[in-house]
Amino acid sequence: MTKTLAMELGKFNIRVNVICPGTIKGNRMKRVIKDKAKFLKVSKKLIEKEFISMTSMNTWVYEEDIGKMCSFLISDDSLRMSGQIVSIDGDTLRMH
């Protein structure tokens, strides 16, 4: 759908791109970590390590990462970029 929309709207100088975020370390994930740690009776640190280990970059995705990509996509630096699917997920290897 992204490529089709990009092709159809390009003649109107409209760019179409998609951002696919990974697991974002925000309030929701903090609750998930807390609840899972409580359920499994383990530390929150252990659960955090488990989630981080699912990425080859061993890092979280933060809200700011998504915001920076949005800023890039609406800037003139991406004028020739359309029909792209951009994953911001720390190179997620697997999910539960």
Would you say residue 95 has pLDDT above 80? no
> Which residue carries 């100088």 as its tokens?
13
pLDDT category of residue 4 using cuts at 50, 70 and 90: very high
Q: Which domain holds residue 11?
A: 1-22+61-91
**What's the confidence (pLDDT) of residue 67?**
97
Residues 56 and 67 in one domain: no
Residues 55 and 72 in one domain: no
pTM of the model: 0.79
Give the mean model confidence (pLDDT) for residues 67-80. Answer: 97
Residues 30 and 44 in one domain: yes
Residues 70 and 81 in one domain: yes
The CA–CA distances, whole Å, from 73 to 3, 17, 85, 90 equal 16, 8, 11, 19
Residues 65 and 18 in one domain: yes
Q: Report how far residue 67's alpha carbon sits from residue 73's, in angstroms, rounded to the nearest whole number.
A: 10
Q: Report how far residue 4's alpha carbon sits from residue 66's, in angstroms, rounded to the nearest whole number.
A: 24
- Domain membership of residue 69 (yes or no) is yes
* Segment 13-66, tens digit of pLDDT: 999 999 999 889 999 999 999 999 999 999 999 999 999 888 888 889 999 999
Residues 86 and 66 in one domain: yes
Query: Into how many domains does the chain fold?
Result: 2
